[in-house]
Each structure stands twice: as structure tokens, then as C-alpha cells.
């Protein structure tokens, strides 16, 4: 006999499997992955794309910068721009400098979030690996429209600070993120700066021809 409860359970399981999730702990990850933090996700790509990639990254992580320089442009062109993948970058700052960078990206508005994070990844060596990184960061973000005063004001905002660190804490506590970059591809966890070939191997079975 099929009860309403068993039918509902079967429907939930079917939905999870269709999205690429397993049962048990991985199914729980689907719920945890839905957490967007106080400021919400900034999404690139079609909302109904068959695959969702969530990247947890730090702006001071050289492996993250390598991914965004060497893999992201091709991944975006082949999968995001073609409607096959929706992409989300989430904050996982490894140090106060990365926290400051993410805060400035958030203060600049969601429509400028990716241009700002792209700038900070692209120019990482110019503001992270220098004698006075905070001064270098302030000088860099002036290219994105900040003044010294507006940048300093942004970094004093407790709500932005709490939101950025809240995303990191949830990633640590609920999803087991402990290094960057960490990717969740339809719920499947992969760590490290994956290459284009590695993404192709993962994504092609999920998106079809």
C-alpha cells in the first residue's frame, strides 16, 4: 500500500537523485547547499540550468586565482553562457585581507560583484603579495569606483563583515569545506583548482550533448 507519506518520501528521493545527489549525508548537503547567507547568492547563468556549480573561494588563495585565470573563462564560455550551468561564487576568506576584499565586492552592489572579484583575482599579486597589502587593496579598488573614504566606510560595516563570515562558517560547519577552492557540482564535492578537462569529464554526462 502506498501511503501519502511514502509517496512524498519517494518524490523527494527522486528529486535528489535527478539533481545528482545521493542519499543520506549527500541528500542533507542539498539542504545545506541552499543556504545563501544574509546577502544572498550572486548567480551567473540560467536559473533552470541542469547543473549548478558552487565555488567556495578565498581572494588571497593562489589556487583560486589560477582557476579563475586558466579554467573559468573556458568553463563560462562552454557551459555557463550556453545555459548548461549556473555558477555561484561563495565567500570563504582564509585571512582578514580576503575578508576585506569580499566586503568591498559586496559593498559595490551585486551587479558589480563578479567584476570586482575578477579584478581582485586577476591582480592578486599586486595587492596580496606586497609589503603594504591594505594600501595596495585600496588603490586597486579605486579602479572599481571606490574612493579612500568609501572603501574605509565599507570595511567598517559590521553587517557586511558578519554576512561574509557567516557564509564561511556555514561552509565549514555544514559542508565540511576546509580548503579553497572547493566546488560543489550538483552537490558532489570536489577540491582543488580543477582543469577544463576535469570539468568536461564531470559535466558532459550531466548536461548531455
Cell numbers 543520506 correspond to what residue?
Answer: 24
For residues 75, 183, 167, 164, the Cα torsion angle rounded to the nearest 10 degrees is: -40
- Distances in whole angstroms, Cα of residue 20 to Cα of each of 8, 13, 27, 205: 19, 11, 9, 11
Run of H or E residues at 53: strand 51-57
User: What pLDDT does residue 30 have?
Assistant: 73
The mean pLDDT of the chain is: 88
* Among 166, 201, 173, CA closest to 185: 201
User: What pLDDT does residue 29 have?
Assistant: 67
Task: Name the grid cell of 74.
Answer: 573556458
Q: For residue range 59-99, what is the model confidence (pLDDT) as tens digits?
A: 999 999 999 999 999 999 999 999 999 999 999 999 999 99
The mean pLDDT value for 119-137 works out to 97
Residue 176 has pLDDT above 80, yes or no: yes
Answer whether 61's CB lies under 8 Å from 97's CB: no
Q: For residue range 20-67, what is the model confidence (pLDDT) as tens digits?
A: 433 334 444 677 899 999 999 999 999 999 999 999 999 999 999 999
Domains and CATH numbers, the chain: 45-207 (3.40.30.10)
Amino acid at each position: 500500500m502506498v501511503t501519502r507519506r511514502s509517496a512524498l518520501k519517494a518524490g523527494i528521493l527522486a528529486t535528489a537523485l535527478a539533481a545528482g545527489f545521493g542519499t543520506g549525508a549527500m541528500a542533507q548537503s542539498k539542504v545545506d547547499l541552499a543556504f545563501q547567507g544574509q546577502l544572498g547568492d550572486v548567480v551567473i547563468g540560467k536559473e533552470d540550468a541542469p547543473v549548478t556549480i558552487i565555488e567556495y573561494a578565498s581572494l588571497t588563495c593562489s589556487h583560486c586565482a589560477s582557476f579563475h585565470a586558466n579554467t573559468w573563462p573556458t568553463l563560462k564560455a562552454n557551459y555557463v553562457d550556453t545555459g548548461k550551468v549556473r555558477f555561484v561564487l561563495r565567500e570563504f576568506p582564509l585571512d582578514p585581507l580576503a575578508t576585506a576584499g569580499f566586503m568591498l565586492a559586496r559593498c559595490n552592489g551585486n551587479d558589480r560583484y563578479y567584476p570586482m572579484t575578477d579584478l581582485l583575482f586577476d591582480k592578486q599579486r599586486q595587492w596580496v603579495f606586497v609589503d603594504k597589502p591594505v594600501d595596495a587593496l585600496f588603490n586597486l579598488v579605486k579602479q572599481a569606483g571606490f574612493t579612500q573614504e568609501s572603501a574605509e566606510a565599507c570595511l567598517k560595516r559590521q553587517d557586511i563583515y558578519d554576512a561574509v563570515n557567516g557564509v564561511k562558517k556555514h561552509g565549514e560547519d555544514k559542508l565540511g569545506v576546509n580548503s579553497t577552492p572547493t566546488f560543489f557540482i550538483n552537490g558532489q564535492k570536489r577540491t582543488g583548482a580543477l582543469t577544463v578537462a576535469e570539468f568536461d569529464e564531470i559535466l558532459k554526462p550531466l548536461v548531455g550533448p
